[in-house]
Chains A and B, each alone.
Chain A
Amino acid sequence: MLTPHPTLLIGPSDWQPERMPREEFARRIDAMWERHPQAERAIVFGSSRHHAELAYFTNLVPKLEPVVALLSRTGQHRLLVGGGVNMIGAARPLTWIENVLPLKDVAAAIGGGGAARCSLVVGTAYMSVAFRRTVMEALGEGTCVQDATAQVWSRMRRKSRYELDAIDAAVKATGVARKAMREALMSGGSVTDVILAGERAASAAGAQDVRTLFSLDGGRTLRPFVVPVKQRVDPLMAYLAIRRFNYWAECFPLFTTRPESAQLHEKAWQAMGSALSAIKAGVATHEIGQLIAAAMQPYQAHPMIAHAFAQRTGLALDEPSCADIGASFEEGEVYSLRIGAMDEARGSMICSRMFIVQAAGVVAFDEGPA
């Protein structure tokens, strides 16, 4: 789900080798070379907003200025960090790559890469036009350049043990946040009190980033924080996304005392149970979509999740179109399954649950609605 992007990413992002060992990154890079045997190097771009591919290879999430990784099949990997030489010190703890240089030298660094037979570029759509031109000119006219962004995303679908552990930690943090939100509500808190209680609890639980949206109209629409909202609403639906160790988890907490809202919620969770029981590796995604639609009759689907009833989840909160749900669920993929409904009398709601696809079924990351 798209949320307002902060002007500066604030939160613990240092590379933790015990969480994501160097060998895991080496394996990912080796897989890229294997997929592109003619490639000698890869140029991977990331900004503070779009950096999933960069983080996948380097662990680095740019907090402020863009970063480029120059990955070499045979030589040393290098990282070029925006913001000048003074930003290098802040970048070093974020990555396992030791050779960190200023980004202003990108043309020389690319040009100095030797007569590479073929270069891969990843994330060029996120570069500004001027920066992209600089990179392409440095690569040289007539040289072999392949955009490997979609292939990288394809590799990113299947999650490793380390990635699953990171996602599990993020899901657990959503549980902590939801509990704090419930407590804030029970003690008479306003909409903002509840949302900020969740954010604070997530941060205290080690969140690297927390994003929230909330509804003031019974779950029909979601909106970001602009100024504090002192009122209380029932039902209060929110969207909560928490990042830990670079990986995101999401949920849609709903707090209500209204029986009609609770009934709708219960129906959605029943549909969730049916859908999760039906999903396993190889199952067509459209079949699950139809199953959910049938289970939620006669209610109208919620428009906010109309574009994706199942959203792949990992290094990006808002994944690009090349990461859209495919024709079938595949083993090792992690999804957030979202079920929503709109009804004039009963209100509107969305619920979600995160799970990993396995050969014989799914394993959910949490225990479902509390």
Chain B
Amino acid sequence: MAAETDMNFQERLSDICRRMQDEKLALLIALHDGAHFIETPNPVMVLTGFKSIGAAAAVLYSDSACTLIVTPSWDAERAAELCPQARVVGTDDLVAALLTFFGGEFPQDTISEIGVAGLSFLPSGIASPITAALPGARAADKLVFDAARTKTAEEIGFAREAARIAELGYTRLLQIAKPGMTEDDLAVVLKAYMKTLGAEDNFLLLCAGPHNRAVQPSTGRKLQQGDIILAEITPSYRGQLTQICRTVVIGEPPDELSRKYELVVRAMNEGIAAAKPGVAMAEVCRAINGVLEAQGYGEYCHPPHIRRRGHGLGFASVRPGDVSLDNATVLEPDMLFMIHPNQYLPETGYLLCGEPVVITARGADVLTREQSSLGIAGRWKE
């Protein structure tokens, strides 16, 4: 299915510049430390499309002139190749380079016309000197990420490719997971396999046990017969993450596990059905909770058992945010996010089930070819 609006990168950048003019910002400084974490948005990527190796900044003027400052200095040539629209500066000291860019000091007389995005996510070693140099600058995170609340056509294309890779990764998991293998070894092999398919990064949370309390990073624990493997398979293709959440049993699944998994899938499908333009994100969460509450699992639909039923997908913008009862964001076409009930049930433990969706005029378009069902290790469809 094609993207709804076919917004491109340049149009989004123009939108950001318009917002800057509306807010009387002459320039905007976006900052990122290069630690590309799934939960942390990256305003430098939003403004330039560049996923840096080290700390980076993008300086955008309201006329759309942009300078990208990257570390390490030797990565400048690659940055220039990937961001032909920006002037690129390579440095090994981001703060010093920013000061140099402004002629040794920030323009104090017009400091209120400077917006800064990404400051709160930076390590204090980078953030503190910038804050000290820009005492009157305004936070501009909302401006940047409001403009990036929907994905460009290119980002949606990358998300579809990442979803394809994730599904192939899942098939490989079904093929190779077996007793005696450690969680770490399984995760390493899957990550390597998905890299051969084009995944440049992967948030692959994978753990196993007879009764999981949550999904966690893998450890050296060896898989055992009867284990339930939880996998959040989250490859990134050209900087765009997509995720699938899957549950796999080693051995024959008990009937109760199969029944409970069907319940979780039903809850997910209610969420997917509820996700439409004009609907608040909280309603998607409520639709999922409704199915589980009706089966007597109301107390497991809230903290500490569950915090959210899905989330946005970075690395650039993580809007529209969490699928949670407190998210009032109204869904729009081209919003991309995860819907994952990921529920702890006392009879079975934690179960993972989730799909990436993009909102279209007709509702949620699921990016995967085959939706979640309880997997059995060693048994897979060709």
Proximity bits, A74-106, B CB within 8 Å = 1, else 0:
000000000011110110011000000000000
Q: Can you list 23 A-B contacts (CB < 8 A)?
A: A2-B53, A2-B72, A7-B236, A8-B204, A8-B205, A8-B217, A9-B217, A11-B188, A12-B185, A12-B220, A13-B184, A13-B219, A47-B35, A49-B33, A93-B221, A126-B123, A126-B124, A129-B124, A132-B124, A203-B189, A223-B75, A225-B200, A303-B74
- Establish whether residues B205 and A228, one from each chain, have CB atoms under 8 Å apart when the complex forms: no
Pick the most buried of B201, B205, B221, B238: most chain A CB atoms within 10 A of its CB.
Answer: B201
Q: Is B187 an interface residue (CB 8 A)?
A: yes
How many interface residues does A have (CB within 8 Å)? Answer: 51
Q: Given A7-B202, A196-B192, A303-B74, is A50 in contact with B123 using a C-beta cutoff of 8 Å?
A: yes
Which residues of chain B in 65-117 are interfacial with respect to chain A, using CB atoms and an 8 Å cutoff?
71-75, 77-78, 92
List of 7 A-B pairs having minimum Cβ-Cβ separation, nearest first? A125-B125, A86-B214, A90-B216, A14-B220, A63-B217, A12-B184, A49-B35
Q: Taking the nearest CB of chain B, how far is it from the CB of A360, in angstroms?
A: 35
Q: Given A89-B216, A93-B220, is A10 in contact with B122 using a C-beta cutoff of 8 Å?
A: no
Q: Taking the nearest CB of chain A, how far is it from the CB of B92, in angstroms?
A: 6
Q: Which residue of A lies closest to B239 (CB)?
A: A226
Interface size of B as a range: 35 or more
- Establish whether residues B124 and A89, one from each chain, have CB atoms under 8 Å apart when the complex forms: no
Which residues of chain B in 14-40 are interfacial with respect to chain A, using CB atoms and an 8 Å cutoff?
33-38
Q: Is A6 an interface residue (CB 8 A)?
A: yes
Q: Is A146 an interface residue (CB 8 A)?
A: no
- Establish whether residues B201 and A128, one from each chain, have CB atoms under 8 Å apart when the complex forms: no
Cβ–Cβ < 8 Å partners of A200 in chain B: 192
Which B residues lie at the A interface, using CB under 8 A?
A: 33-38, 51, 53-54, 71-75, 77-78, 92, 119-125, 127-128, 131, 182, 184-185, 187-189, 191-192, 195-196, 198, 200-205, 207, 213-214, 216-221, 234, 236-238, 241, 304, 315
Q: Taking the nearest CB of chain B, how far is it from the CB of A169, in angstroms?
A: 16
A2-B53, A13-B219 are known; give 17 further A-B pairs, CB within 8 A. Answer: A2-B34, A4-B200, A7-B37, A7-B201, A8-B205, A12-B184, A47-B123, A49-B35, A128-B124, A128-B127, A129-B120, A130-B120, A221-B74, A221-B77, A223-B75, A227-B238, A228-B196
Q: Given A2-B72, A14-B220, A49-B35, is A8 in contact with B202 using a C-beta cutoff of 8 Å?
A: yes
Cβ–Cβ < 8 Å partners of B53 in chain A: 2-4, 224
Cβ–Cβ < 8 Å partners of A130 in chain B: 120
Q: Roughly how many angstroms separate A85 CA and B192 CA in the complex, as a whole number? A: 30
Cβ–Cβ < 8 Å partners of B213 in chain A: 86, 89
Q: Is A304 an interface residue (CB 8 A)?
A: yes
Cβ–Cβ < 8 Å partners of B124 in chain A: 124-129, 132
- Establish whether residues A128 and B120, one from each chain, have CB atoms under 8 Å apart when the complex forms: yes
Q: Taking the nearest CB of chain B, how far is it from the CB of A363, in angstroms?
A: 30
- Establish whether residues A90 and B198, one from each chain, have CB atoms under 8 Å apart when the complex forms: no
- Establish whether residues A228 and B198, one from each chain, have CB atoms under 8 Å apart when the complex forms: yes
User: Which residue of the partner chain, among B71, B203, B216, contacts A7 with CB atoms under 8 Å?
Assistant: B203
Cβ–Cβ < 8 Å partners of B192 in chain A: 196, 199-200, 203
- Establish whether residues B195 and A5, one from each chain, have CB atoms under 8 Å apart when the complex forms: no
Q: Which residue of A lies closest to B128 (CB)?
A: A129
- Establish whether residues A307 and B92, one from each chain, have CB atoms under 8 Å apart when the complex forms: yes
